[in-house]
Structure 1
Amino acid sequence: MSGGVDSSVAARLLTEKDYDLSAVFMRNWDTRDESGTETGCEWEKDWEDVQRVCTLLDIPCKMVDLSRQYWTRVFEPALDEWAEGLTPNPDVSCNREIKFGALMDRALTTPNQWLATGHYAQLRWDTLDPTHARPMLYRSADRHKDQTYYLSSVPESQLHKALFPIGHLTKPEVRELATRYSLPTASRSESMGICFVGEKGHFNQFLSQYIPPKPGRIVDTNGKDLGAHRGLWMYTIGQGARIPGLTTKMFVARKDAAANELVVAPSDHPSLFCTSVFVSSWHWIWDDHPPSSVDSPTGLRASVQIRHRMSEVPCTIFRRKGGVFEIRFEQPEQGVAPGQIAVVWDGEWCLGSGKIVDTTCLE
């Protein structure tokens, strides 16, 4: 339980089932660890809300401190990628390494235990082999809140032990149930922060505490000098680049880490439109049974998202040498950056994901 309304309603729904319930709250970040003062104890409010809900539901709860695991498995690797000019998605690795990794390992001590969360996702089961039912990760009923993107790298073995009690509900329905059940978190506002950080209003300012400035030049696609930047990690491909003195609005087209240059272009420039991406560290949820068509000349027809906040787009996927996959978009896409996670679906069924290592654009 996180202290939010989603996990609170998930817990309440499970009280209606024949389960022996207990709750666990995961502490993963505390600014007091950095500052050494009593300011910044955001997790304490969450923990208080978890205890209030559990008291109402009459289920035991405990707190597990996984901040060290967060630091080493999620935060430090993400820092390294930001420093290299990449655009990582820590929430994907957070779910794989922490929530359904370290936390699941810590919480589940016997075979007949499951970890239920408030994620907006659904599990269906393939029963072609009656002796070995396999979990299939499906989108939630609420497409706007769907979180299968973030769960796309969780292994099948971990999904086998997961429950998503609110996956069949929409967010308004969850809110309505929370009010009906008089849960203390019914009116709590929604957290939109990054998994390991929480809600930090000025993210670049936050990262600057860990990544030193590395000034470089801002250039156009012809190499013309337009200004200076303070660090490639402060920019995302596709975002507007504020350059004093320019009358034409420019956007980040790419980052040249070797030269420490930020390359910008006007909004209609071909360098902003990508036709395909190359993806490594690929994870099929059914790792032993990838779709055979990825090795065919025509490839695997599927849909893909390269960001959580986007609609899926049609694509074709090909397996290349060295464990790399090529994903070709049906139409050119903007805002595509190395480091992002590309997640693929067959209809509503999430097949897996990988990390973008290179892009092919119109120029």
Structure 2
Amino acid sequence: MKRVVVGLSGGVDSSVAAYLLQQQGYEVIGLFMKNWHDDSVTISNECPWLEDSNDAMLVAEKLGIPFQVVDLSKEYQERIVDYMFNEYERGRTPNPDVLCNREIKFDVFMKIALELGADYVATGHYCRRGVVQDVHGNDVYQLKAGVDNNKDQSYFLCQLSQKQLSKALFPIGELTKPEVREIAKELDLVTADKKDSQGLCFIGKVRLPEFLQQKLQPKEGVIVQVDKSNQTYNKEIPVFETKEEELAFYSQKYSYTITSGKIVAKHQGAHYFTKGQRKGLAVGGTQEPLFVIETDVKENIIYAGEGKQHPGLYRKVLFVSNAELHWIREDLSLKTGESKDVLARIRYRQPLEKATLYQVEGGMYVEFQNPQSAIQEGQFVAWHLEDELLGSGVIA
């Protein structure tokens, strides 16, 4: 009988994952990860992790499986929270959920599970694991999209390695969310109607802006509105000798100075804002809402443009340095000079878009067929072939 440790989060997805594994004949152990205990940064005086761990315990009791809470808050602080603040201070936008899976659930947590004699670690992610053979007949693990198009969470696992995938199970990947809720209702689980958590990965009810404001000091600066007719957007296009020159040209972000537009308002810190953001600018008197088109954390200036079609929001090429490049399917990785047509996305909820990967000496260019809105440094681009996620990288 193989032993599986399930990360019980106190939500419906991991609850049903544990039940399905039981049905498949595994010996199941439930562990709840306590990743945060600084109560000064939750929004309300509720204690979300206590409520969640209590629900997880009730589910374990109902299923008749062993349960315990593991405190990973020290590792979470060092690997996720400190990294996040550091990235925001540099004017980049990290994705804590992707990091949490790579660094916490499938690393620190996985090590604990394996010490408990587990063969596998399971989570309630909507994705699937496949196995194929490489040319040498060795097993190669695939990360595939969940069957529920509306809930596919493979993006959040885009940084997993072959080693991590070899020990991972995703029991609900073949189900839709309504089917999962239905199973939970039939079992009368306390989590059956519980709303999905909207907070940071395993921190609970924490909204990011409030979280950042409690750690990064406010600093007053100006918001500069840049007109869409600005000459920055009408640069002369040079004649390119090579494809790489062309990609390098189009991957450059627009650069602005305080004289690029008119000062329309003040803000409390450029590091609180990210490209594409609309909320929180508090500027009135424009026909269409303003969007952040760039942040300059050094000069503490936010550049904004009117309307979601503003040219300052769009680019079709991005770059990932070799140091930040990650292939789940190492056997399909590109050599310098090679290219590959894929489907790619730069954020979780975005539909997959046609793109081409170009591997060059220093890294990889991703050229989208259509311009993408708000390509933001620090976030992850992930690329697929059909329903399989092949790799990802941090946008430079």
TM-score, scaled relative to structure 2: 0.83
> Match for 1:186 among 189, 192, 212?
192
Paired position in structure 1 for 2:172: 166
SS of the equivalent of 2:115 reads coil
SS of the equivalent of 1:108 reads helix
**Deviation of the 1:31 alpha carbon:** 3.3
Q: Say if 1:31 and 1:40, in contact at 8 Å, map to a contact too.
A: no
Paired position in structure 1 for 2:112: 106
Q: Say if 2:200 and 2:208, in contact at 8 Å, map to a contact too.
A: no
Runs of at least 4 residues off by over 6 Å = none
Whole-Å Cα distance in 1 between the matches of residues 50 and 210 of structure 2? Answer: 23
Whole-Å Cα distance in 1 between the matches of residues 95 and 201 of structure 2? Answer: 10
Paired position in structure 2 for 1:292: 334
- Gaps of at least 5 residues in structure 1 are 358-363
Whole-Å Cα distance in 2 between the matches of residues 290 and 131 of structure 1? Answer: 15
Alignment of 1:226 onto 2:264: yes
> Match for 2:213 among 196, 208, 211?
208
**Deviation of the 1:320 alpha carbon:** 2.7
Aligned partner letter, 1:292: L
> Match for 1:279 among 289, 314, 320?
320
Whole-Å Cα distance in 1 between the matches of residues 54 and 118 of structure 2? Answer: 29
**Deviation of the 1:245 alpha carbon:** 4.8
Paired position in structure 1 for 2:311: 270
**Deviation of the 1:198 alpha carbon:** 1.7
Whole-Å Cα distance in 2 between the matches of residues 239 and 185 of structure 1? Answer: 33
Are residues 230 and 39 of structure 1, via their aligned partners in 2, closer, same or farther at CA, if it must alter by over 3 Å? closer
Whole-Å Cα distance in 2 between the matches of residues 112 and 245 of structure 1? Answer: 60
SS of the equivalent of 1:329 reads strand
1:13-92 matches, cutoff 5 A:
13-32=20-39, 34=40, 39-92=45-98
Alignment of 1:325 onto 2:367: no
> Match for 1:142 among 143, 148, 161?
148
Paired position in structure 2 for 1:250: 290
Whole-Å Cα distance in 2 between the matches of residues 111 and 124 of structure 1? Answer: 23
Q: Say if 2:49 and 2:204, in contact at 8 Å, map to a contact too.
A: no
Paired position in structure 2 for 1:354: 393
Are residues 223 and 259 of structure 1, via their aligned partners in 2, closer, same or farther at CA, if it must alter by over 3 Å? farther
**Deviation of the 1:184 alpha carbon:** 2.2
Aligned partner letter, 1:306: I
SS of the equivalent of 1:295 reads coil
Q: Say if 2:89 and 2:297, in contact at 8 Å, map to a contact too.
A: no
Aligned partner letter, 2:373: Q
Are residues 253 and 86 of structure 1, via their aligned partners in 2, closer, same or farther at CA, if it must alter by over 3 Å? same
**Deviation of the 1:30 alpha carbon:** 2.2
**Deviation of the 1:7 alpha carbon:** 0.7
**Deviation of the 1:177 alpha carbon:** 0.8
Whole-Å Cα distance in 1 between the matches of residues 218 and 169 of structure 2? Answer: 43
Q: Percent identity?
A: 37
| Superposition RMSD in Å | 2.2
Q: Deviations over 1:164-188 (max 9, x none)?
A: 1110000000011111122222122
Are residues 110 and 248 of structure 1, via their aligned partners in 2, closer, same or farther at CA, if it must alter by over 3 Å? closer
Q: Say if 2:357 and 2:367, in contact at 8 Å, map to a contact too.
A: yes
Are residues 196 and 320 of structure 1, via their aligned partners in 2, closer, same or farther at CA, if it must alter by over 3 Å? farther
SS of the equivalent of 2:366 reads strand
**Deviation of the 1:18 alpha carbon:** 2.4
Are residues 272 and 27 of structure 1, via their aligned partners in 2, closer, same or farther at CA, if it must alter by over 3 Å? same
SS of the equivalent of 1:182 reads coil
> Match for 1:10 among 2, 17, 20?
17
Aligned partner letter, 2:327: W
Whole-Å Cα distance in 2 between the matches of residues 18 and 205 of structure 1? Answer: 44
- Gaps of at least 5 residues in structure 2 are 1-7, 227-259
Q: Answer with 65-74 or 303-312: which moved more.
A: 303-312
> Match for 2:157 among 151, 157, 163?
151
**Deviation of the 1:145 alpha carbon:** 0.8
> Match for 1:311 among 351, 356, 377?
351
SS of the equivalent of 2:395 reads strand
**Deviation of the 1:224 alpha carbon:** 2.8
